[in-house]
Amino acid sequence: MRLELQKITKQFPGVLANDRISISVDKGQVLGLLGENGAGKTTLMNILSGLYKPDSGKILIDGKERIFRDPAQAIDAGIGMVHQHFMLVPVFDVTESVVLGNEPTKGPLGSFDRATARAQVAELSKRHGLHVDPDAKIESLPVGVRQRVEILKALYRKSDILVLDEPSAVLTPQETEELFEIIRGLARGGTSVIFITHKLNEVIAVADKITVLRRGAVAGETIPKKATAAKLAEMMVGREVQLTVSRSKSKVAEPILQVKGLNVLNDAGGLAVNSATFDVRSGEILAVAGVQGNGQTELVEALTGLRLVDSGTVVLEKKPLHAGSPREIAMAGVAHIPEDRNRDGMVKGMTIAENYILNTYHLPQFNKNGLLNRKAIAAATEQAVKDFDIRTPSISTDIASLSGGNQQKVIVAREFSRNVRLVIAAQPTRGLDVGSIEYIHRRIVEQRDAGAAVLIVSTELDEVLALGDRVAVMYEGRIVGILDAKEATRERVGLLMGGITK
Amino acid sequence: MNGLKKFGSKIRIPALSISVALLVGALFIIFTDIEVLGGLLSDPIGALSLGVGRAATAYSALFRGAFGDPENIGKALASNGDIKLWARALRPIVESVVASVPLIFVGLGVSVAFRTGIFNIGGAGQYTMGAVGGTIAALVFGAGVTPAPIAILLVMIFGVIGGAAWAFIPGYLKARVGASEVITTIMLNFIAGQFVFFLVSNFEFIQKPPRNQPVSKELSQFVDLPGILPIAALRLDISIIIALLTAVAVSWFLFRSTRGFELRAAGLNLAAAKYAGIGAGTSIITAMLISGAISGLGGALVAVGTIKQLSPGIGGSVGFTAIAVALVGGTRPSGVVATALVFGLLQHGGSLMQVETSIPIEMLLFIQALVIAFIAAPELTLGILKNPFRRRPRSVGK
């Protein structure tokens, strides 16, 4: 089927989310839809799947206009969505998950016809080359396989147009490669695919056609043969960007952070970090790679005082750290760029100045006998806004109204405002535009060059490889390998991310 | 100019909400009138004009009850300083202010908790326990035992202690075991009322002779709060001044002090506050103590100064109206004071409306409830009165 969206416009209070966006995908074609967070990709897909109604514009399928009042109508029209966060019931098996909602029935009472369902699922998975055991329980499956189940679900509902929203976010590089094979196979079989991502290399690898969105409008269209990562980035951002981090060799000195046999529990009481042992030395960046949810979050929380350490030792410059509170650890010279900046890193509803002093307000320079020294706070914040090129109308603007990149700059400025011995940066560039990524990477490298030890945790392999002087890989709570930058190839790190240590 | 614009944008929603609520209230008056409904089919125009007339009469009474009768004011102006005429002209507006005093205190009190992210709906209980503290202080230290200013100060201090102690309980329980403050504060509201009942029916020292009613002795015999108006017949005492000073103090505390900074950070984003090393437990207990202290101070001053008696129903509807005041006022001290004044006007104006027309004072509760509903749903309010205040898309540099 050929799908065409014509001049779709959607206005939300205060934001023009989609501004006359036109895209199209032919039968058997893979359309890569590229854009940064906030470029309008998700809104557009929600319109396509019947969740939102466009203010104006048309949806055409095989040349005929269709209007979707709810998601059910979009599904009937053959549009299948695979969301970034899977919608699966953990205790169901694959067959049940795939047919849920459209179960084949038998008998007068319409009871569930398991045998037919199983046969249908097996046939479907064979036909499309999606290898899944129809009897496996969802909770026992790795993320990559769960994604296949989601795709099967869409195909089972006879989707001719498959929409994949950021499908590689949770996959290892090898799993991503397998996903691309599946997508190519589906396209050969006549399914149209819309592949949404912000990763430049992925669209070049898998798409037949690329549409780039910027600030709610189409910024350009191209085909992979003519595109380069640099060109696409430029289209996405609107200006030229530098994709690689330029940095000198590190001058490594004494260890600053020493972690030995660290065990940390997750909220459910399970072992999230399993006897982690590593050092981070002055003047080097240790980048921790791993698929999301392999204990990285708990590791960082334990190191920064937000989570209790179960056992093991953490030493910062020869002083034990693990019993400290977040404040003591920050004052000991640790800068922490948190993984989830909306949750931990800033207080929306407070101004930029207030966020800038969020964890230093109690220091003598800002605190005079229990009162905030507003002059000193304003002066320090003004300086930070200048130094870090934070784009804001004023320092008394609510931080919530800044773009993600500028919010992150406020956080980075705050964390680097103290005397820094150790930087702990978790997903420091998640959801940021290419320009801000470049900037934040540069700032982190500057800290390294100034002699700080840097620990970066990232699920973006590109980021890990670009920044790490050494690369550690976490898998199921263990550090399964620490490689020097020279040995850390995409393949080796990718295998370790999947838990394969040979 | 910028300041004016900012002010305008702040009061836009509350002002619209109050206007729309009054409008809907008028429709309600019109369409709940039996005569109007009866005539609607046979003579719609006549019936409607009758209804509009009734609503106009009601609102006229509401206005005169709230602000004063223009006729009386005219007479007072012409009288060349006749105290009696002046008292009559000014009584409504003064009484409206008097009605707003408890709302200012409790509104400020719960605002501090709300700002910290604690839904303290125990304003009524904390106010009541403050009244208990103030009453006991008045009975013990008043009537010449200590000099009048000292007695007044002790009334205030005991009020603060009573309210803070009552608020400490839910604060401690939330900080320690995570007990929901919504439930504990509601329960403590009931307990406070019953505690007053116990006090005023069991102790000769407190209960009014001949001890056949559950009320305290007349407190004016013990402590008298000085009035602030030159006309003695108008009962506006220093509690309004103290209320306004408290508002300034709360504003200063919230926005200037490091403690206030901690509380606001914890209220807006507890995870980020923890990240910044701000202890959640300490913030909760501090906020509840301050919150209760302010409500308690109000309870003591109103019981001793305005009502001049302690009775089990003293918390009455104050607690819940004050929550509305805090929310409508955006938990901002200036907003709370302004909203409390508006609610005071509605409350006192409503009593005249009830006297002059057959419309019950519950109509005012209905209007108050509408105000809250409209404020809670600003899009709805803006939708009803579209266009003049249309929002423009905001764009901030990337």
- B327-352 pLDDT tens trace: 888 899 999 999 999 999 988 998 88
Q: Which residue has the tokens 């801000």?
A: A436
Task: Report yes or no on A471 lying in a domain.
Answer: yes
Are A198 and A33 in contact by the 8 Å Cβ rule? The answer is: no
Tell me if A402 and B269 make a contact (CB, 8 A cut-off): no
Could you say which DSSP state residue A398 is in?
B
Helix (H, G, I), strand (E, B), or coil: what is residue A441? helix
Taking CB atoms and an 8 Å cutoff, what residues of chain A touch B393? Answer: 14-16
Task: Report yes or no on B88 lying in a domain.
Answer: no
Identify the closest residue of chain B to A356 by CA–CA distance. Answer: B276
State whether A323 and A383 are in the same domain: no
State whether A104 and A55 are in the same domain: yes
* Domain boundary residue, one of A355, A385, A418: A418
| pLDDT greater at residue A482 or residue B210 | A482
State whether A110 and A259 are in the same domain: no
Q: Which residue has the tokens 């205790």?
A: A91
Identify the closest residue of chain A to B115 by CA–CA distance. Answer: A349
> What mean pLDDT is reported for chain A?
89
User: In this complex, is the C-beta atom of A433 within 8 Å of any C-beta atom belonging to chain B?
Assistant: yes
- pLDDT classification of A102: cutoffs 50, 70, 90: confident
Task: Report yes or no on B326 lying in a domain.
Answer: yes
Q: What is the 3-state secondary structure (H, E, C) of A287-349?
A: EEECCCCCCHHHHHHHHCCCCCCCEEEEEECCEECCCCCHHHHHHCCEEEECCCHHHHHCCEC
Taking CB atoms and an 8 Å cutoff, what residues of chain A touch B265? Answer: 347, 350, 354, 358
**How near does any CA of chain B get to the CA of A370, in Å?**
5
**Residue B219: is its pLDDT beyond 60?**
yes
Least confident of B98-107, B147-156, B192-201, B360-369: B360-369
Residue among B257, B276, B396 whose CB faces A403 most closely: B396
Are A98 and A152 in contact by the 8 Å Cβ rule? The answer is: yes
Identify the closest residue of chain A to B397 by CA–CA distance. Answer: A391
CB contact set of A493 (below 8 Å; sequence gap of 6+) = A173, A289, A461, A464, A465, A471, A473, A483
User: Domain count of chain B?
Assistant: 1
**Residue A42: is its pLDDT beyond 90?**
no
**Residue A112: is its pLDDT beyond 50?**
yes
Tell me if A391 and B397 make a contact (CB, 8 A cut-off): yes
Provide the number of CB pairs (under 8 Å) joining chain A to chain B. Answer: 92
Task: Report yes or no on B87 lying in a domain.
Answer: no
User: In this complex, is the C-beta atom of A241 within 8 Å of any C-beta atom belonging to chain B?
Assistant: no
Least confident of A311-325, B187-201, B244-258: A311-325
State whether A209 and A93 are in the same domain: yes
Least confident of A356-370, A421-435, B235-249: A421-435
Task: Report yes or no on A338 lying in a domain.
Answer: no
- Residues for chain A: how many in total? 502
What CATH number is associated with residue B305? 1.10.3470
> CA-based Rg of chain A, rounded to a whole angstrom?
25
User: Domain count of chain A?
Assistant: 3
- pLDDT classification of A246: cutoffs 50, 70, 90: low
Are A311 and A327 in contact by the 8 Å Cβ rule? The answer is: no
Task: Report yes or no on B242 lying in a domain.
Answer: yes
Q: What pLDDT score was predicted for residue B40?
A: 82
- pLDDT classification of B234: cutoffs 50, 70, 90: confident
- Please compute the mean of the pLDDT values over residues B102-125 and round it to a whole number: 95
- pLDDT classification of B2: cutoffs 50, 70, 90: low
Q: What pLDDT score was predicted for residue B336?
A: 95
Identify the closest residue of chain A to B394 by CA–CA distance. Answer: A14
Q: Which residue has the tokens 């020279």?
A: A486
> What mean pLDDT is reported for chain B?
88
Q: What pLDDT score was predicted for residue B268?
A: 93
State whether A52 and A198 are in the same domain: yes
Calpha distance A184→A368 (Å, rounded): 65
State whether A94 and A164 are in the same domain: yes
Task: Report yes or no on B174 lying in a domain.
Answer: yes
Task: Give the C-alpha distances (Å, rounded to integers) separating A7 from A20, A22, A219, B53, B388.
Answer: 4, 5, 14, 53, 30
Closest-CA residue to A333 (of A379, A290, A291, A280): A280
Q: What pLDDT score was predicted for residue A278?
A: 95
What CATH number is associated with residue A289? 3.40.50.300
Closest-CA residue to B157 (of B26, B284, B299): B299
User: In this complex, is the C-beta atom of A36 within 8 Å of any C-beta atom belonging to chain B?
Assistant: no
Which of B:266-295 have CB within 8 Å of A?
A: 268-269, 271-277
**Residue B389: is its pLDDT beyond 50?**
no
Could you say which DSSP state residue A163 is in?
E
User: A230 — phi, psi (to 5°)?
Assistant: -65, -40
Residue among B264, B272, B379 whose CB faces A344 most closely: B272
**Residue A128: is its pLDDT beyond 50?**
yes
Q: What pLDDT score was predicted for residue B395?
A: 37
Are B284 and B273 in contact by the 8 Å Cβ rule? The answer is: no
State whether A159 and A279 are in the same domain: no
- pLDDT classification of B382: cutoffs 50, 70, 90: low
- Please compute the mean of the pLDDT values over residues A368-381 and round it to a whole number: 94
State whether A411 and A427 are in the same domain: no
**Residue B184: is its pLDDT beyond 90?**
yes
Range of the domain at A280: 244-333+421-502
- Please compute the mean of the pLDDT values over residues A439-465 and round it to a whole number: 91
Taking CB atoms and an 8 Å cutoff, what residues of chain A touch B275? Answer: 304, 306, 326, 336, 338, 344-345, 358-359
- Please compute the mean of the pLDDT values over residues B114-128 and round it to a whole number: 94
**How near does any CA of chain A get to the CA of B182, in Å?**
24
Percent of chain A exceeding pLDDT 70 equals 98
**Residue A77: is its pLDDT beyond 70?**
yes
Q: What pLDDT score was predicted for residue B96?
A: 94
Task: Report yes or no on B157 lying in a domain.
Answer: yes
* Domain boundary residue, one of A403, A418, A433: A418
Are A439 and A389 in contact by the 8 Å Cβ rule? The answer is: yes
Task: Report yes or no on A437 lying in a domain.
Answer: yes
Calpha distance B105→B123 (Å, rounded): 9
Task: Report yes or no on A57 lying in a domain.
Answer: yes
Range of the domain at B184: 100-348
Tell me if B268 and A345 make a contact (CB, 8 A cut-off): no
- Please compute the mean of the pLDDT values over residues B297-322 and round it to a whole number: 91
Tell me if B272 and A433 make a contact (CB, 8 A cut-off): no
> CA-based Rg of chain B, rounded to a whole angstrom?
23
Tell me if A347 and B261 make a contact (CB, 8 A cut-off): no
Q: What pLDDT score was predicted for residue B397?
A: 34
Residue among A350, A393, A401 whose CB faces B265 most closely: A350
* Domain boundary residue, one of A204, A221, A237: A237
Specify the pTM.
0.78
Are A387 and A413 in contact by the 8 Å Cβ rule? The answer is: yes
Task: Report yes or no on A473 lying in a domain.
Answer: yes
**Residue A249: is its pLDDT beyond 90?**
no
pLDDT digits (tens, 9 = 90+) for A282-333: 999 999 999 888 899 999 999 999 998 999 999 998 888 766 789 999 999 9
Tell me if B257 and A370 make a contact (CB, 8 A cut-off): yes
Tell me if A392 and B397 make a contact (CB, 8 A cut-off): yes
Tell me if A401 and B394 make a contact (CB, 8 A cut-off): yes
Which of A:320-339 have CB within 8 Å of B?
A: 325-328, 330, 336, 338
DSSP string, A164-209: EESGGGG--HHHHHHHHHHHHHHHHTT-EEEEEES-HHHHHHH-SE
State whether A165 and A34 are in the same domain: yes
Residue among A343, A370, A397 whose CB faces B271 most closely: A343
Q: What pLDDT score was predicted for residue A243?
A: 65
Task: Report yes or no on B286 lying in a domain.
Answer: yes
State whether A223 and A257 are in the same domain: no
Q: What pLDDT score was predicted for residue A323?
A: 65
Calpha distance B116→B298 (Å, rounded): 21
Q: Report ipTM (2 d.p.).
A: 0.81
- Classify residue B374 as left (phi > 0), alpha (psi -120 to 50) or beta: alpha
pLDDT digits (tens, 9 = 90+) for A139-158: 888 778 888 899 899 889 88
Determine the straight-line distance between the first and last CA of chain B, rounded to whole angstroms.
27
Helix (H, G, I), strand (E, B), or coil: what is residue A267? coil
| pLDDT greater at residue A243 or residue A221 | A221
Calpha distance A298→A265 (Å, rounded): 8
- CB atoms under 10 Å from CB of B50, counted, come to 16
State whether A24 and A35 are in the same domain: yes
Task: Report yes or no on B85 lying in a domain.
Answer: no
State whether A362 and A405 are in the same domain: yes
Task: Report yes or no on A469 lying in a domain.
Answer: yes
- pLDDT classification of B398: cutoffs 50, 70, 90: very low
**Residue B392: is its pLDDT beyond 50?**
no
CB contact set of B33 (below 8 Å; sequence gap of 6+) = B50, B51, B54
Tell me if B396 and A392 make a contact (CB, 8 A cut-off): yes
